[in-house]
Structure formats: structure tokens, C-alpha cells
Amino acid sequence: MMNINQQRKILNYLSKGLPICEEPYKALAESSGVSEAELLSFIKDLVDSNVISRFGMVIDHDLVGYEENAIVVWDIPDDEVDQIGALLGLQEKISLCYHRQRQLPDWPYNLFTMIHGKTKHDVITELNKIVSENGIENYACDVLISTETFKHSEARTDW
């Protein structure tokens, strides 16, 4: 059984990063005083219980050519937004999918998705594919392609 200090230490290590080597969990298990099996089942519990949302490698999309992104906004009737939001959230090239408050009369859109691609053309092609595959041609939508980045920082967690 792990104590709270061991759990904290492991969580801290997992957020900083593990080494890429044949047995990446071994050193952490040893230095935390737990068996590798205990460590692995602890990480599994963290994922299953959603304490951590993902375990794996974090990729810099810009460096692999995915430099373009667009916020695509939709005007979806309130009683359908949950269903369509859940559907669009599953798409491979959509990273964010939120129901946001409309701001009438200036802003009628209530569903926000972020679509990524290598070029603007790719983003639009992907959008068209998502629209036709999910049968959402009849909802008003607007595309906000980014043309310049003024600030892009990691979300602050150091309050």
C-alpha cells in the first residue's frame, strides 16, 4: 500500500516526465520504494479515475507540420447541442469542443470546435468532411482561421 508521500512523489514525476528507455518505470518505482507492479496499477487507477486525463507522449503539433488551426463555431438549437457536441468531440482532428454562451444579437453561435491541419486548405477539407460525415449541413457555422499568434502559453496552474 502506498502512502500519500509516495503518491505525491510519483504524481510529480509523471508530470515532469519519464525517460525513454527499455524499462522506463523501473527507476521511479525503486526511488519511490514501491514495486513496479504497484506503480503500474497506480498509474492505471489515475487514468481510470480521470485524475490524469491522458498518459503518454505530448507532441508539439507545430513541429510536425500541423501549424494551422481554426475555431469553427456553430449555431445549434439548445436541445440538440449536447448530442452534436458529444459527436464532434470524437473527431480525430478536433482537439477542443465546448458549448459556450451565445451573446445575442452580436454572436449567435453556441458550439465551439478547434480543428487542426497542416495548411488552411487541409483545415477546410477536414471541416467539409466532418460536416458531411455527421450530417450537420443545415446548421449555420462560421470559420475563424488564425492568421497571427500574439500569445500562446501553457495554461497556468501555479496559483
Partner 1 sequence: MTLKLSDKDIALINRVQNNFPLCERPFEAIAEGLGESTKWVINRLKELEEAKVISRFGSVVKRKNDSFSTLAALKVPHERVKDIAHLVNSYNEVTHNYLREHDYNLWFVVQSNSEKKLQAVLEDLSQHMDFPMLNLPVLESYHSDMVITL
**Measured from the CB of residue 9, what is the shortest distance to partner 1 in angstroms?**
13
Size of the site for partner 1 (CB under 8 A): 80
Peptide bond between residue 108 and the one before it cis (omega within 30 degrees of 0): no
Q: Residue 101: in which H helix or E strand, if any? A: none
From the list 46, 131, 36, the residue with the least C-alpha distance to 93 is: 131
Of the residues 2, 11, 124, 141, which one makes contact with partner 1 according to CB under 8 A: 11
Contact flag: residue 104 with partner 1 (CB under 8 A): no
Residues 20-59 that bind partner 1 (CB under 8 A): 20-26, 36, 40, 43-44, 46, 50-59
| Binding characters for partner 1, 66-95, by CB under 8 A (x = yes) | xx--xx---------xx--xx-xxx-xxxx
Site for partner 1 in 112-131 (CB under 8 A): 112, 116
d(CA 116, CA 95): 8
Nearer to partner 1, 138 or 157 (CB): 157
Determine, following the binding rule CB under 8 A, whether residue 96 of this chain makes contact with partner 1.
Answer: yes
Of 43, 26, 47, 48, nearest to 35 by C-alpha is 26
Least Å from the CB of residue 138 to partner 1: 20
For the CA atoms of 25, 29, 30, 35, what is the dihedral angle to 10 degrees? -120
Name the residue nearer to partner 1 (CB basis): 51 or 140: 51
| Residue 9 makes contact with partner 1 by CB under 8 A | no
12 burial type by CB count under 10 A (0-12 exposed, 13-18 middle, 19+ buried): exposed
Taking the complex as a whole, the smallest distance from the CB of residue 148 to partner 1 amounts, in Å, to 4
Q: Which of 100, 97, 101 is nearest to 115 (CA)?
A: 97
